[in-house]
Amino acid sequence: MERFFGLKERNTTVRTEIIAGVTTFLTMVYIVVVNPSILSSAGVPFEQVFMATILSAALGTGIMALFAKHPIAIAPGMGMNAYFASVVASHGVSYQMVFGTVFLAGLIFILLSFTRLRETLIQSIPSSLKYGITSGIGLFIAFIGLRMSGIVVANPATMVGFGDLHQPATLLTLAGLFLTLILMARRVNGALFIGMVVTAVAGYLAGMLSFKGVVSVPPTPDFFDMDLPGVFQHGLYTVVFAFLLVTIFDTTGTMIGVAEQAGIMKDGTFPRAKAALMADALATTVGATLGTSPSSAYIESSAGVAAGGRSGLTALVVSLLFLLSMFFSPAISAISSVSAITAPVLIIVGCFMMEGLARIDWHTFDEAFPAFAILLSMPLTSSIATGIAIGFITYPLMKLVSGKGREVHPILYVFGVIFVIQMVYFPAH
């Protein structure tokens, strides 16, 4: 094992790697609860999402461990699950059809992993749009957390308003949120997971949570028929593109960030990049056939790196722990049914995703406004695809009229025209 993962060359040990793997798992295991909670709201059976989440995470992280040999974990990404649910609601289509878009995005991602088109696509899209998209998704999922918990409610006069603090669910959410924030501020490993556990205990004592069991035989994973023809019949091409684009940016950026922290980068290059990207692409594609939204590299992997993780052994430990978690479906099902337990995670993860805003050149208006338009439109329209479309339309347009048209890659002009046509003739709502 030491030789296979190159532990001596990476100046680490088996014990350190195991501790790092456990640390990473504890910081991201919330997805096993949150992902089924979000997708089940779109009509997907809870147990199906539960098993799909675990198996896609174990698969992607396992491939990362054995082939890329990096301490980076893969699992269904936050933001994409919320977008999945919003597509089902806003487009009036079946969740099987939306799984078809995820499957197609995964296939395209696999193909791009073998070509230089992926690098061209990443390089052609300016930083302001990339950071705007990530931050917009952060606002989007934080808003969902606020809405789920009753902190923000519908208001006929102002569209939204402040909720009723006399509601038990809202009070429990606020208590869980402040507790988790304290743990985060104190840099406690697994703060999100610990916050959920304590909130669940409080909910149980308050009579808001009841268990029909804790441990059981895992539900049987089920491959199901995706409605691929429906994707083309309803023209869900923007949805496919949104899943693909966000997954590529999120995964690539996270992998590079974690690799730099772990000292893996060599002369500015990411070793075994194709294997690492393939891990995510395969997890997304297989996950769609099992019943979950796209997978992504997790920034929580940095917690394991901070604990000393430097090799694929860290990721292998994470993969095995995900498989172990499938035996706790009754407890996880009960916890996910109480929105006050999962809502604080959505709000805090939304904050994590705002980091890129500091890197946008707000003093240059033709850079700032497209990012601002994305930030504004994603939560207000409840559509990540709409936010991406608006950004891709406004950026080349503003550069063109400001005399900087040559700074824009031709791909952006093509995307801009496509999105204008899509929004005029094939609107999302």
User: Which of the 8 DSSP states describes residue 92?
Assistant: T
Tokens linked to 143: 């808003």
Mean pLDDT of all residues in 145-158: 88
Q: Judge whether residue 144 has pLDDT over 90.
A: no
Alpha-carbon span 253 to 259, nearest angstrom: 10
Over residues 16-31, the mean pLDDT reads: 88
DSSP characters over 288-321:
HHHT---EEE-TTHHHHHHTT--SHHHHHHHHHH
**pLDDT band of 428, cuts 50, 70, 90:** low
CA-to-CA dists, residue 272 to 64, 240, 248, 256, 276, angstroms = 10, 27, 16, 12, 6
Pairing verdict, β 159-162 and 74-76 = unpaired
Lowest mean pLDDT, pick from 20-24, 105-109, 170-174:
20-24
**Torsions phi, psi for 164 (to 5 deg):** -95, 115
Residue 61 pLDDT > 50 = yes
Task: Tell me which residue range forms the domain holding 398.
Answer: 2-425
User: In this structure, what is the dihedral angle of CA atoms 308, 310, 313, 319, given to the nearest 10 degrees?
Assistant: 80
Which residues on neighbouring strands pair with residue 381, listed in sequence order?
A: none
Q: What is the pLDDT of residue 254?
A: 81
What is the per-residue pLDDT for 427? Answer: 61
Supply the pLDDT for residue 265: 74
Q: Using alpha carbons, list the distances in angstroms from residue 240 to 88, 152, 170, 325, 429.
A: 13, 30, 35, 30, 16
Q: What is the mean pLDDT of residues 26-46?
A: 89
Residue 324 reports pLDDT greater than 90: yes
- Helix crossing, 339-352 with 31-40: angle to 10°? 110
| Res 384 pLDDT > 90 | no
**Is the predicted pLDDT of residue 106 greater than 60, yes or no?**
yes
Residue 169 has pLDDT above 60, yes or no: yes
When mean pLDDT is compared across 27-31, 221-225, 347-351, the lowest value belongs to: 221-225
**Nearest to residue 137, comparing CAs of 355, 394, 397?**
355
The count of domains in the chain is 1
Point out the least confidently predicted range of 221-225, 310-314, 352-356: 221-225
What is residue 429's predicted lDDT score, i.e. its pLDDT? 47
Q: What angle do CA 148, 289, 141 make, to 5 degrees?
A: 20
User: Tokens standing for 17?
Assistant: 């790697």
What is the percent of the chain where pLDDT is above 90? Answer: 39
pLDDT for 269 beyond 90? no
- Helix H or strand E encompassing 389: helix 384-401
d(CA 266, CA 22): 27
- Which residues in 222-342 belong to E strands, given as ranges? 295-297
The whole-number average pLDDT for the span 42-47 is 90
How are the residues of the chain apportioned to helix, strand and coil, as percentages rounded to the nearest 5? 70, 5, 25
Q: Where does the pLDDT of residue 219 fall: very low under 50, low under 70, confident under 90, or very high at 90 and above? A: confident
Q: What is the mean pLDDT of the chain?
A: 87
C-beta neighbour count of 51 within 10 angstroms: 22
Residue 297: strand pairing partners: 74
Residue whose pair of structure tokens reads 């429990």 in the numeric block:
172
* Cα 160 to Cα 193: distance, rounded to the nearest angstrom: 29
pLDDT of residue 225: 66
C-alpha dihedral (403, 406, 407, 410), degrees to nearest 10: 130
Spatial separation of the C-alpha atoms in residues 65 and 284, rounded to whole Å? 17
